[in-house]
Chain A
Amino acid sequence: MEEKLLEKLTVLGEGAKYDVSCSSSGAARMNIGRLGNAACAGICHTWTADGRCLSLLKVLLSNDCAYDCKYCVNRRSADGPRRTFEPRELAELTMGFYRRNYIEGLFLSSAVLRSPDNTAERMIECLWLLREAHGFAGYIHAKIIPGVSAELLTQLGLLSDRLSVNVELPSSESLGLLAPQKKPKGIFSPMRQILQAQREQQTLKAAGNRGRLRPAGSSAGVGDGCYDDLRELAGRAGTPEAIDQLMRAGFARGGTSAVQGSAHSGRGLQTAPRGRYRERFAPAGQTTQMIIGASPESDLEIVKLSEALYRRFALKRVYFSAYIPLAAAPELPPLLTPPPLKREHRLYQADFLLRFYGFTADEILTPEQPDLDVDLDPKVCWALRHLELFPIEVNRASEEELLRIPGVGTVSALRILRQRRIASVGYDDLKKMGVVLKRARFFLSCRGKYYGGKEREPVAIREKLLLDERTLRDSLGSGVPPQISLWDTLNGPAVLGTRKEPAVWSAGNELSVRQEL
């Protein structure tokens, strides 16, 4: 039994690890159940050997997939062990881990087990056990499988803090090519439904009506009455005896029992608004993720797509995942292609510009230059294209203008504004406020003085910035730093050594050194 669980957990964890999102943020809740709460900022619990944080217990309910997406580890045609968690088993494991403070909650994803609806039903059963039978009030993130029916989605939303539907690939053509069973409509209609449910909830609350949301229609949910004894115990969990009793009763529950029995008995969805968790539909919103580097889209298309997703579906995050070749297929990059980690990094920087710095996709990239510069961050690139706007005087600029200066972030901009209310900001103060002066000095002036040196040409500034970037390169995990030669500075991308990246520097770049020469 023990050995079996160990193997299941390893296999199903391995299957889920390529999902990027691990944040436990966005929901704040006191302990209203028996165990657990949620912190708005999210809490990371540990960091794996690849430097990614581990916050939620990220597992698949099953890796026995009916689909055959070409890029995926769990595709039907792949070899490897197939495992499926019993909902009860996973709920108990989650409680055990949570109680030891190993994790911040559960990230439940799954392969498509027969059909999207069948998978969703099993996920609901597991989450329902956690919330109701175990009184779990911690964080839950549930993955929505494209094509799931609206009623089940409502149930999942009421049990979870955050939902996510993966768009998987940055264009519908690539999706058709690499994941033929997933349809754009199947992806966007759940997103729209989640958005509408949240809007509806806000409207209801705004009108002073804090009544419970009843899901529209009925579904094959978890039946009524089958866990009444546990619920009653959870209600009076104050005394240690009650705790013992509750734990014993909860853990002693046998196998599939009444839950599955009633799941198909056709009874309506009467249980929905019972717990207080269910009054809110996915309070931490929804996110999505897409794979970078498996298909030929340019960065411009990717950034534009994220912008559209933020605007139309009010997503909390769009995650990018650098493609790691796990399967050989003619449509995919060859095996042993290194994952485009640097491109992923730059895309995240662009994503932050969209979300926190008031940039639009068209400002970050242009059709003439559709890919991000891997050598310099997108904000610096934008500033170099618009040197006419700089230097910006930090003692006069508005918050929006301050945020446009490379090296000034949201925190340092706020500090500048605060200090300005009582004293002018000097150049030495900026460093103490957290401004990265090695970038910022070319783009700002302080009490009327410019600190970026005599040459104010884009090329010269670029050269100086690149010198700093080179020292940073090792820390981004690209291995051995390439040999620096005189010609690198003239040819740009050659600096990157073996990495094959789009020719960002040469193509139509007005800053080209060759033209200058």
Chain B
Amino acid sequence: MNYLYDKSFEGFLTCVWHDYYSERAEGICAADGDYQLDLLRYGQTVETDAEKAARVLEAIERKISVWDAERLYRVQRTNEPEKEMKMLRYIRLGFRIGGRLRLLHGDPVVLAVQKAEQRLGAEAHRFCGILRFSSLGNNLLYASIEPDNDILEFIAPHFADRFRWDPFLIHDLRRGKALFAYNKEWKIAPLPADTKFAFSAEEDSFRTLWKRYFDAMAIKERTNPACQRRFLPARYWKHLPEMQNA
């Protein structure tokens, strides 16, 4: 049986409920995106059910651990291929062996989830650095990003604290949503990717200053572009003013 769900964490938990109580899942897929008709198995759309989801979450927290429930939530936000089945296998194993689950670093089931979670964490940390704000005038700061994983809510606390008195919005162009924050409060809301903003007048001069400083800081005797790309992959350059050719 293939379960199709609505990409939400609750939806996924409902699939886990069905896997346990109705029919064993052989695949769990987002209903809209990359699902392809399977000749061997039925596909069934799962209605997200808050009550079932809450029961599964409670079971995970009790039988495995709260920490693992949070880990699953984070993995659900990644772009890991077939993440749902990896998470399901993790839960099944966890129900068997309990809270020791996360100590099994060598187990392929645990490893898959651990790796996906690490990638998300690494990208969120990276975006704390490589996100660039532009001033829209009126003290409003704007940044556009295209991360691989859905990291908005994981970088939110960091920026909400740092720019506490500067209202800002971080626009995830790939997912068409944005993080709005001011005075330590933040929320995430849909914002179409083609929304355009006008930058303030001083923005250009700051970018020029930054670009010139950035270029000056490289030591030419030690030039090593391969090393630079290892740390800062080219897919992120699009939104970095210092990597644009002025």
| Partner-B contacts on A (CB < 8 A) | 2, 5-6, 9-10, 13-14, 17-18, 30-31, 34-37, 39, 41, 43-55, 57-58, 93, 96-97, 99-102, 104, 138, 237-238, 240, 243-244, 247, 322, 324, 338-339, 341, 415, 418-419, 421-423, 425-426, 428-430, 432-433, 475, 477
The reply on B206 being an interface residue by CB < 8 A is yes
A48-B218, A50-B222 known; A34+B165 contact, CB < 8 A: yes
Which residues of B have CB within 8 Å of A423?
104, 106
Decide if A418 touches B226 in the complex (CB within 8 Å): no
| Chain B residues with a Cβ closer than 8 Å to the other chain, count | 55
Decide if A46 touches B232 in the complex (CB within 8 Å): yes
A99-B135, A421-B103, A426-B106 known; A31+B162 contact, CB < 8 A: yes
Q: What's the least CB distance linking A194 to chain B, in Å?
A: 27
Number of A-B contacts (CB under 8 A): 172
Which residues of A have CB within 8 Å of B105?
415, 418-419, 429, 432-433
Which secondary structure dominates chain B's binding surface?
A: helix
Partner of B212, one of A9, A18, A419: A9
Which residues of A have CB within 8 Å of B226?
51, 475, 477
Decide if A51 touches B228 in the complex (CB within 8 Å): yes
Closest A residue by C-beta to B184: A31
A51-B224, A99-B135 known; A45+B103 contact, CB < 8 A: no
Decide if A324 touches B162 in the complex (CB within 8 Å): no
State the CA gap A50–B221 with chains docked (Å).
Answer: 8
A240-B139, A419-B105 known; A100+B222 contact, CB < 8 A: no
| Partner-A contacts on B (CB < 8 A) | 100, 103-106, 108, 111, 125, 128-135, 139, 141, 143, 158, 161-167, 183, 205-206, 208-210, 212-228, 230-232, 240, 242
Interface centre among B108, B222, B225, B232 (most CB of A within 10 A): B222
Decide if B129 touches A100 in the complex (CB within 8 Å): no
Decide if B161 touches A58 in the complex (CB within 8 Å): no
State the CA gap A206–B245 with chains docked (Å).
Answer: 54
State the CA gap A57–B223 with chains docked (Å).
Answer: 20
A-B residue pairs in contact (CB < 8 Å), sample of 25 = A6-B208, A10-B212, A13-B216, A18-B219, A35-B164, A37-B161, A37-B162, A44-B231, A45-B129, A46-B129, A47-B231, A48-B217, A48-B218, A49-B218, A51-B226, A55-B129, A57-B213, A99-B166, A415-B105, A418-B103, A419-B104, A421-B100, A422-B100, A430-B106, A432-B108
Q: What's the least CB distance linking B182 to chain A, in Å?
A: 9
Which residues of A have CB within 8 Å of B161?
30-31, 37
Decide if A428 touches B106 in the complex (CB within 8 Å): yes
State the CA gap A41–B134 with chains docked (Å).
Answer: 25
Q: What's the least CB distance linking B140 to chain A, in Å?
A: 10
State the CA gap A9–B133 with chains docked (Å).
Answer: 20
Q: What's the least CB distance linking A416 to chain B, in Å?
A: 8
Decide if A46 touches B158 in the complex (CB within 8 Å): no
State the CA gap A377–B204 with chains docked (Å).
Answer: 46
State the CA gap A396–B133 with chains docked (Å).
Answer: 52
Decide if B242 touches A477 in the complex (CB within 8 Å): no
Decide if A50 touches B103 in the complex (CB within 8 Å): no
Decide if A419 touches B231 in the complex (CB within 8 Å): no
A419-B103, A433-B105 known; A39+B128 contact, CB < 8 A: yes
Which residues of B have CB within 8 Å of A415?
105
Interface centre among B167, B217, B226 (most CB of A within 10 A): B217
Decide if A35 touches B162 in the complex (CB within 8 Å): yes
Which residues of A have CB within 8 Å of B166?
35, 99, 243
Decide if A5 touches B216 in the complex (CB within 8 Å): no
Decide if B231 touches A10 in the complex (CB within 8 Å): no
Decide if A101 touches B133 in the complex (CB within 8 Å): yes
Which residues of A have CB within 8 Å of B108?
432
State the CA gap A418–B103 with chains docked (Å).
Answer: 6
Partner of B217, one of A54, A418, A419: A54
Partner of B165, one of A50, A243, A430: A243
Decide if B143 touches A49 in the complex (CB within 8 Å): no
Which residues of B have CB within 8 Å of A58?
217
State the CA gap A4–B210 with chains docked (Å).
Answer: 14
Which residues of A have CB within 8 Å of B111?
432
Decide if B165 touches A47 in the complex (CB within 8 Å): no
Decide if B206 touches A100 in the complex (CB within 8 Å): yes
Q: What's the least CB distance linking B85 to chain A, in Å?
A: 19
Which residues of B have CB within 8 Å of A422?
100, 103-104
